[in-house]
């Protein structure tokens, strides 16, 4: 499945997806990596893997919608069938979501619907939860509000800082995201409204 990835930062989830593809465990072809951040480490990781990259800096466009229209054109040119957000720091607008004729997935570092938006790990620590985690979900027009595909819990430990919790969650993210994508592309994800059922398959459970 021809897949594009949008990433704004360090790109460790992007790297995990590239690795899963290379090992043969994830049957997608990453055809393009985009970012709105010039110089994002994620772009370097993509280049090292031989994946074409493009930068869509918001300030180069008259308004946000124009940037998203350009993103869509780029995805159509690349015949994208699946879009993965991997630390993409902008919310895609409703127009984009309506016009995207392919699934869009995201990973978020909390157990949604708790702590959507920025600094999810800080929010979790400040709230005082004992368990947080990460969520892979389909992207809808809201903020981290789309149907949930997979979640996994991570304990919050006494003495955790934002960094230590983020790191522990990240290790799970790197396994959970490729796993969720794999299930989707293998047709094992069945959706009824908000509810997503993962169909059982030998070797996956």
Active site residues: 108
Q: Which residue is nearest to ligand GRF (CB)?
A: 87
Instruction: For 51-65, give the DSSP string.
Output: --EEE--GGGSSSHH
Tell me which DSSP letter residue 194 carries.
T
Instruction: Collapse the DSSP code of 72 into the 3-class scheme (helix H, G, I; strand E, B; otherwise coil) and give the result.
Output: helix
Phi and psi at residue 37, to the nearest 5°:
-110, 110
- Please say which residue, 11 or 196, places its beta carbon nearer to ligand GRF: 11
Tokens coding 10: 């360090």
What's the distance, CA 148 to chain centroid? 12
d(CA 196, CA 164) in angstroms, rounded, equals 31
User: Considering beta carbons, is residue 86 or 184 the nearer one to ligand GRF?
Assistant: 86
Nearest approach, Cβ of 19 to ligand GRF (angstroms)? 12
Q: Which is nearer to ligand GRF, 88 or 96 (by Cβ)?
A: 88
Contacts of 41 (CB under 8 A, 6+ apart): 9, 10, 11
Q: Is 97 helix (H, G, I), strand (E, B) or coil?
A: helix
Q: How far is the CB of 141 from ligand GRF (least distance, A)?
A: 18
Smallest distance, Å, CB 7 to ligand GRF?
6
Which residues sit at the interface with ligand GRF, rule CB under 6 A? 7, 9-14, 42, 86-87, 107-109, 134, 170, 173
Tokens of 110: 């909390």
Indicate the residue among 2 and 122 with the shorter CB distance to ligand GRF. Answer: 122
CA nearest 122: which of 169, 87, 176? 169
CB of 187 to ligand GRF, least distance (A): 25
């Amino acid at each position: 499945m021809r897949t594009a990835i949008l990433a704004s930062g360090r790109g460790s989830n992007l790297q995990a997806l590239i690795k899963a593809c290379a090992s043969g465990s994830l049957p997608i072809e990453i055809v393009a990596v985009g970012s709105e951040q010039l110089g994002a480490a994620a772009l370097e990781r993509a280049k090292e893997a031989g994946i074409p990259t493009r930068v869509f800096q918001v300030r180069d466009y008259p308004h946000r919608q124009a940037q998203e229209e350009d993103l869509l054109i780029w995805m159509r040119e690349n015949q994208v069938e699946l879009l993965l957000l991997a630390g993409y720091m902008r919310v895609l607008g409703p127009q984009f979501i309506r016009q995207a004729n392919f699934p869009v997935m995201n990973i978020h570092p909390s157990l949604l619907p708790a702590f959507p938006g920025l600094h999810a790990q800080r929010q979790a620590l400040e709230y005082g939860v004992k368990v947080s985690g990460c969520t892979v979900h389909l992207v809808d027009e809201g903020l981290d509000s789309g149907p949930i595909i997979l979640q996994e819990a991570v304990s919050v430990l006494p003495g955790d800082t934002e960094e230590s919790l983020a790191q522990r969650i990240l290790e799970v993210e790197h396994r959970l995201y490729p796993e969720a994508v794999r299930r989707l592309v293998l047709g094992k994800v069945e959706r009824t409204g908000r509810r997503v059922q993962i169909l059982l398959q030998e070797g996956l459970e």
